[in-house]
């Protein structure tokens, strides 16, 4: 038989699926013998049934009646009994805490008759009428759907008439008048009377709480927190206790330690003569919890003891609600409390020291996102004031600088030592130099996966994007806020990438101690020590190695300081930019083999030096060097720009510049409709003679140079965008030929493992064949996501991803978190078939997903050997790789 109702004595902490977090924890406190007013919980099963059919499931109401009778018997009085009413609260509570998102109704059981009885037995008319007006107000808005603001307005009007500064200055008479006004309001708004029957009040309140699961607030909250829509809420029915019975009563909230820093001690607020949410609603000034010691030392002492019991029992920071009724303390709620990232690390370390949790468990309680937050400098929260605008918090941290409106200006000012914030409508790859030069990037368009956001996160740079309230005018070099404030170039602004806000002027900055530790290894006390311990334990337990994506010696060195165990992706295209563009142009325009060879020969020593420096920075560790990947026309000037230049020269009657003209022709010839799917990756190597040979020679000669210098270079050569084993076989032969050549010339044996990226569905599906020619695989999950979904990332993110996210096509962008069902399936196939061919195949991932916490857990589970991510994400990946290896898999996040 299905059961829908559970007494507090029947539940347990681990029954949150059925009883909701609140119901399960009330049951747990009851089991612990803490003073919890008795009650019962109607399960989420009942809610789901109700939401599906619109009616209470069979048998539910009989069960409720039976539990109510037991409650009445225990109290020795009946619900709403005229001379001495039993009153109840009806509370919502889902599996995951959704604070304030659903509804609660207090003081069920009062009516025109029982309010008089309550006045008499309590000896306080004011209390009785205060409780009644609360019931009518909560019932009216929650159950009967009257706009809550109307009740507030009636209350404010009455306070005005009575010259009452707050609700305590309204007497019994005033409150009785208010009840009448409220009832009148309900009648006008709904055409119905406030129900006088206590049984009807109870029944309707329960159903209203069920229905509040689908309230707008609750839905929005769930979407943001990725809580499934089909869980439903439980309803807890509980005997009321009263904090509004006078000065010796009150209600409060408390934490067993400071949720901001994790420091031990008692934190909370208390409000005398108050009920329910008064204490957090800001209707009167609360007092700090310490004050309770003076007001009611007995209750204070008990509260302390109970909180200690709870923290010991839950082995974690607890947050609680309590009420004192005429000197008697009652516990009304507890849960493992939300906390800041700093507190999470501090508490985990402290509880380990106290022997309360194991090192494994401590590690499971912190996470990579929290660590990432701690790595950025922050604003002093108290000192920021009203923001100019809000946007999407795309890359955390805090930065101050002068607003600039293009990349060139950012670079110019930064070179002169000025700190700048690059403000754009949105960024493109052309803005890269400016982004690098800036302290922060602010855009008025685009979401969390826009170019600005992705690049900024990769660089560990502060970014707020999609600040739609701003009108950015790059031509006039200024932006305007919705309020009409104009911010001109050079004006100092502050960007909070953790909160997604922009402030005028220079807000106070606090340095990140955690970042200092990661950079220097200097291990101070407090949160830094806690982070160090978590990372050490993660390193000890993790199976996945963590490498970094790094293209320069500086990045390589930083990655190494952050704990990278090699470079998983060294892109070579950045080495073809700047001054070297000219040589690349010459190579492309070469009329014959000799010309091309000359251009390549000029590039060779430059490439060799690049690789030598990187191999030195990563001495002793693997460096996976990817052969040139992007289409070559990316290195040529823009077609329109060139055409205009040539046409203008012609118009002036000048002799046409043959170089310009040749370039223009080449650019026209090389134009591609879909460059992403065009002549790039391994295809370049197969059709452009000499290119691969030059790159491989540069690598091999760098290895020779490092070996002669006494180093331990471990270069690996990686071929991009392979779709068929034949492509790799041809390219591999060329690579091996050059390696052998250099070995022969130098007398230094050069052994470089040769492998490939798996970034096309066909590569994944034929991985068994491809592994015949590859010593390693590296999943390029950015391209693999693009090609699996048929998404052109730059286009889709700007155009319609926000709509897709809103419509719930996916909860997060597949470019942020690996799409386990689709792209992930290809990864699994490739791992299985690749290893079937070559059991010692090394497999890693070098897409951005390598630094995404949830994705790291997936790669661990899939049996990869390493993840590779941007240097700033290396500590995050180390931590998450450790958590993934914990028994039970840590918490992969929802
Ligand atoms: P929320 O989930 O929004 O915190 P709650 O169910 O905890 O909602 O209830 C709202 C307020 O009413 C809280 O302050 C709570 O402590 C108080 N409350 C709930 N039940 C009772 C009760 N039986 N007696 C006294 N106060 C109660
Ligand atoms: Mg609560
Ligand atoms: Mg790629």
pLDDT tens digit sequence for 662-676: 888 888 888 888 988
CA of 280, closest atom in ligand 1: 14
Percent of the chain with pLDDT over 70: 97
Number of H helices, E strands in the chain: 36, 31
What pLDDT is recorded for position 890?
A: 55
Which CATH number covers residue 437?
3.50.30.10
Nearest CA to ligand 1 atom 22: 240
pLDDT in tens, 415-435: 999 999 999 998 887 788 899
Separation CA 760–CA 882 (nearest Å): 29
Q: Which ligand is nearest to the CA of 102?
A: 1
What is the reported pTM? 0.80
CA of 93, closest atom in ligand 1: 2
- Please choose from 75, 106, 274 the residue to mutate so as to test ligand 1's pocket, defined by most ligand atoms within 8 A of CB: 106
In a domain, 677, yes or no: no
777-801 burial, b for 16+ CB within 10 Å, e for fewer? Answer: bbbbbbbbbbbbbebebeebbbeeb
pLDDT at 637 over 90: no
Ligand 1 proximity of 240 Cβ (cutoff 6 Å): yes
Same domain, 235 and 254: no
Separation CA 255–CA 333 (nearest Å): 12
- Please choose from 277, 319, 330 the residue to mutate so as to test ligand 1's pocket, defined by most ligand atoms within 8 A of CB: 277
Query: Residue 805 Cα, ligand 3 centroid: separation in angstroms?
Result: 25
Same domain, 261 and 220: no
Of 208, 239, 270, the residue that ends a domain is 239
pLDDT at 643 over 90: no
Ligand 1 proximity of 269 Cβ (cutoff 6 Å): no
| Cβ pair 310, 29 in contact under 8 A | yes
Q: Which residue in 202, 274, 204 sits closest to 237, CA to CA? A: 202
In a domain, 45, yes or no: no
Ligand 1 proximity of 100 Cβ (cutoff 6 Å): yes
Ligand 1 proximity of 332 Cβ (cutoff 6 Å): yes
pLDDT at 893 over 50: no
pLDDT confidence bin for 892, thresholds 50/70/90 = very low
Separation CA 226–CA 220 (nearest Å): 10
Which residues is 270 bridged to in the sheet? 252, 287
Number of domains making up the chain: 4
Query: Residue 292 Cα, ligand 1 centroid: separation in angstroms?
Result: 20
In a domain, 587, yes or no: no
Ligand 1 proximity of 142 Cβ (cutoff 6 Å): no
Burial of 444 per CB tally in 10 Å (0-12, 13-18, 19+): buried
pLDDT confidence bin for 282, thresholds 50/70/90 = low
Same domain, 744 and 857: yes
Ligand 1 proximity of 106 Cβ (cutoff 6 Å): yes
In a domain, 171, yes or no: yes
Same domain, 564 and 704: yes
The pLDDT of 543-554, averaged and rounded, is: 96
Same domain, 779 and 839: yes
CA of 277, closest atom in ligand 1: 14
Query: Residue 595 Cα, ligand 3 centroid: separation in angstroms?
Result: 30
Nearest CA to ligand 1 atom 14: 276
Active site residue 857: no
In a domain, 47, yes or no: no
Same domain, 708 and 850: yes
The pLDDT of 254-266, averaged and rounded, is: 84
pLDDT confidence bin for 79, thresholds 50/70/90 = very high
pLDDT at 225 over 80: no
Q: Which ligand is nearest to the CA of 41?
A: 1
What pLDDT is recorded for position 822?
A: 97
Same domain, 809 and 846: yes
Separation CA 451–CA 596 (nearest Å): 35
Active site residue 633: no
pLDDT confidence bin for 829, thresholds 50/70/90 = very high
Q: Which residue has the higher pLDDT, 101 or 297?
A: 297
Strands (DSSP E) found in 535-574: 545-549, 567-570
The pLDDT of 594-605, averaged and rounded, is: 93
Which tokens sit at 336?
């493992």
Query: Residue 331 Cα, ligand 1 centroid: separation in angstroms?
Result: 10
Q: Which ligand is nearest to the CA of 252?
A: 1
Nearest CA to ligand 1 atom 13: 276
CA of 242, closest atom in ligand 1: 25
What pLDDT is recorded for position 306?
A: 96
Query: Residue 335 Cα, ligand 2 centroid: separation in angstroms?
Result: 9
pLDDT in tens, 765-781: 999 999 999 999 999 99
Nearest CA to ligand 1 atom 17: 276
Residue 323: which H helix or E strand, with range? strand 318-325
281-314 burial, b for 16+ CB within 10 Å, e for fewer? Answer: eeebebbebeebeeebeebbebbbebbebbbebb
In a domain, 781, yes or no: yes
Catalytic residue, from 465, 570, 846, 869: name it: 846
Q: Name every residue whose Cβ is closer than 8 Å to that of residue 184 and which is 6 or more positions away in sequence.
A: none
Nearest CA to ligand 1 atom 23: 240
Of 510, 530, 553, the residue that ends a domain is 510
Same domain, 825 and 858: yes
Of 336, 364, 390, the residue that ends a domain is 336
Ligand 1 proximity of 238 Cβ (cutoff 6 Å): yes
Neighbours of 363 (CB within 10 A): 27
Query: Residue 615 Cα, ligand 3 centroid: separation in angstroms?
Result: 22
Ligand 1 proximity of 89 Cβ (cutoff 6 Å): yes
What pLDDT is recorded for position 894?
A: 31
Same domain, 234 and 274: no
Nearest CA to ligand 1 atom 6: 91
Separation CA 890–CA 894 (nearest Å): 12
Ligand 1 proximity of 276 Cβ (cutoff 6 Å): yes
Question: Residues 180, 186, 187, 191: what is their CA dihedral angle, to the nearest 10 degrees?
Answer: -170
Same domain, 407 and 554: no
Query: Residue 250 Cα, ligand 1 centroid: separation in angstroms?
Result: 13
The pLDDT of 711-726, averaged and rounded, is: 98
Average pLDDT, the chain: 92
CA of 243, closest atom in ligand 1: 25
End-to-end alpha carbon distance in the chain: 32
Which tokens sit at 155?
């209350």
In a domain, 361, yes or no: no
Same domain, 161 and 306: no
pLDDT at 661 over 90: no
Same domain, 457 and 558: no
| Cβ pair 757, 721 in contact under 8 A | yes
Bridge-based pairing of strands 264-272 and 250-257 is antiparallel
Q: Which domain holds residue 397?
A: 376-510
Catalytic residue, from 67, 306, 318, 451: name it: 451
What's the CA angle centered on 316, arms 852 and 539, to 5 degrees? 40
pLDDT in tens, 124-140: 999 999 999 999 999 99
Nearest CA to ligand 1 atom 3: 100
What pLDDT is recorded for position 100?
A: 67
Ligand 1 proximity of 131 Cβ (cutoff 6 Å): no
Which CATH number covers residue 312?
3.30.470.20
Ligand 1 proximity of 254 Cβ (cutoff 6 Å): no
Query: Residue 183 Cα, ligand 1 centroid: separation in angstroms?
Result: 23
Query: Residue 844 Cα, ligand 3 centroid: separation in angstroms?
Result: 14
Q: Which ligand is nearest to the CA of 845?
A: 3
In a domain, 30, yes or no: no
Separation CA 418–CA 370 (nearest Å): 30
What pLDDT is recorded for position 215?
A: 85
pLDDT at 339 over 90: no
Ligand 1 proximity of 104 Cβ (cutoff 6 Å): yes
pLDDT in tens, 139-158: 999 999 999 899 999 999 99
Which CATH number covers residue 199?
1.20.80.30
Bridge-based pairing of strands 866-869 and 545-549 is parallel
Ligand 1 proximity of 369 Cβ (cutoff 6 Å): no
CA of 275, closest atom in ligand 1: 26
């Amino acid at each position: 038989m299905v059961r829908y109702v559970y007494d507090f004595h029947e539940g347990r902490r681990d029954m949150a699926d059925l009883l909701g977090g609140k119901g399960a924890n009330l049951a747990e406190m009851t089991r612990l013998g803490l003073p919890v007013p008795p009650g019962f919980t109607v399960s989420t099963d009942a809610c789901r049934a109700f939401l599906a059919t619109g009616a209470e499931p069979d048998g539910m109401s009989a069960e409720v009646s039976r539990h109510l009778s037991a409650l009445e018997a225990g109290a020795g009085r009946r619900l709403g009994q005229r001379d001495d009413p039993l009153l109840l609260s009806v509370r919502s509570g889902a599996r995951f805490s959704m604070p304030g998102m659903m509804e609660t109704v207090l003081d069920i059981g009062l009516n025109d008759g029982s309010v008089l009885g309550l006045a008499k037995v309590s000896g306080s008319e004011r209390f009785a009428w205060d409780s009644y007006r609360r019931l009518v107000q909560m019932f009216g808005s929650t159950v009967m759907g009257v706009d809550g603001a109307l009740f507030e307005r009636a209350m404010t009007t009455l306070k005005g008439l009575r010259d009452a500064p707050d609700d305590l200055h309204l007497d019994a008479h005033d409150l009785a008048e208010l009840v009448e006004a409220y009832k009148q309001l309900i009648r006008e708004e709904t055409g119905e009377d406030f129900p006088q029957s206590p049984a009807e009040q109870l029944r309707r309140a329960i159903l209203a709480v069920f229905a509040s699961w689908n309230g707008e607030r609750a839905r929005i909250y769930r979407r943001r927190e990725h809580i499934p829509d089909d869980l439903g809420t439980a309803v807890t029915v509980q005997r009321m206790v009263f904090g509004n019975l006078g000065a010796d009563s009150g209600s409060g909230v408390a934490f067993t330690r400071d949720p901001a820093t994790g420091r031990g001690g008692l934190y909370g607020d208390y409000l005398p003569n108050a009920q329910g949410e008064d204490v957090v609603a800001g209707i009167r000034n609360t007092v700090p919890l310490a004050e309770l010691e003076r007001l009611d030392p007995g209750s204070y002492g008990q509260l302390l003891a109970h909180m200690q019991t709870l923290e010991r029992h839950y082995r974690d920071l607890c947050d609680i609600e309590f009420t004192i009724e005429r000197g008697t303390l009652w516990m009304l709620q507890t849960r493992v409390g939300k906390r800041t990232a700093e507190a999470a690390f501090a508490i985990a370390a402290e509880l380990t020291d106290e022997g309360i949790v194991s090192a494994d468990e401590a590690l499971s309680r912190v996470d990579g996102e929290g660590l990432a937050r701690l790595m950025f400098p922050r604003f002093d929260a108290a000192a920021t004031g009203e923001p100019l605008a809000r946007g999407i918090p795309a890359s955390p941290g805090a930065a101050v600088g002068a607003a600039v409106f293009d990349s060139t200006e950012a670079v110019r000012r930064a070179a002169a030592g000025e700190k700048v914030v690059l403000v754009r409508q949105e960024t493109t790859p052309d803005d890269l130099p400016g982004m690098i030069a800036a302290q922060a990037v602010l855009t008025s368009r685009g979401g969390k996966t826009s170019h600005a956001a992705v690049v900024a996160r990769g660089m560990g740079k502060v970014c707020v994007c999609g600040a739609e309230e701003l009108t950015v005018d790059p031509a006039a070099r200024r932006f305007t806020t919705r309020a009409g404030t104009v911010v001109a170039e050079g004006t100092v602004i502050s960007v909070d990438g953790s909160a997604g806000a922009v402030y005028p002027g220079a807000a106070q900055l606090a340095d990140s101690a955690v970042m200092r530790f990661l950079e220097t290894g200097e291990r101070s006390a407090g949160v830094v020590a806690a982070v160090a311990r978590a990372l050490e334990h993660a390193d000890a337990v993790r199976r996945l190695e963590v490498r970094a994506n790094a293209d320069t010696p500086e990045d390589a060195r930083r990655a190494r300081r952050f704990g990278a165990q090699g470079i998983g992706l060294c892109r070579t295209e950045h080495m073809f930019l700047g001054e070297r563009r000219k040589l690349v142009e010459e190579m492309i325009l070469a009329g014959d083999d000799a010309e091309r060879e000359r251009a390549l020969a000029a590039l060779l020593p430059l490439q060799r030096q690049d690789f030598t420096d990187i191999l030195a920075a990563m001495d002793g560790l693997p460096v996976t060097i990817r052969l040139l990947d992007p289409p070559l026309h990316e290195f040529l000037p823009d077609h329109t720009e060139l055409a205009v230049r040539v046409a203008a020269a012609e118009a002036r009657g000048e002799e046409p510049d043959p170089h310009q003209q040749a370039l223009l022709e080449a650019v026209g010839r090389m134009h591609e409709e879909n460059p992403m799917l065009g002549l790039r990756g391994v295809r370049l190597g197969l059709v452009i003679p000499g290119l691969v040979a030059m790159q491989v020679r540069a690598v091999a000669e760098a290895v020779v140079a490092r070996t002669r210098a006494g180093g331990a270079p471990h270069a690996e050569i990686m071929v991009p965008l392979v779709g068929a084993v034949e492509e790799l076989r041809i390219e591999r032969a060329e690579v091996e030929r050059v390696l052998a050549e250099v070995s022969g010339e130098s007398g230094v044996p050069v052994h470089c493992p040769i492998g490939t990226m798996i970034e096309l569905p066909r590569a994944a599906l034929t991985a068994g064949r491809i592994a015949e020619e590859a010593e390693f695989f590296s999943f390029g999950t950015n391209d693999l996501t693009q090609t699996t979904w048929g998404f052109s990332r730059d286009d889709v993110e700007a155009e319609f991803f926000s709509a897709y996210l809103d419509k719930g096509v996916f909860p997060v962008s597949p470019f942020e978190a690996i799409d386990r069902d689709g792209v992930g399936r290809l990864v699994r196939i490739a791992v299985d078939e690749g290893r079937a061919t070559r059991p010692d195949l090394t497999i890693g991932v070098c897409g951005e997903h390598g630094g995404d916490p949830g994705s790291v857990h997936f790669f661990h589970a899939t049996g990869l050997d390493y993840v590779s991510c941007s240097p700033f994400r290396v500590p995050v990946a180390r931590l998450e790789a450790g958590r993934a290896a914990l028994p039970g898999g840590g918490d992969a996040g929802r």
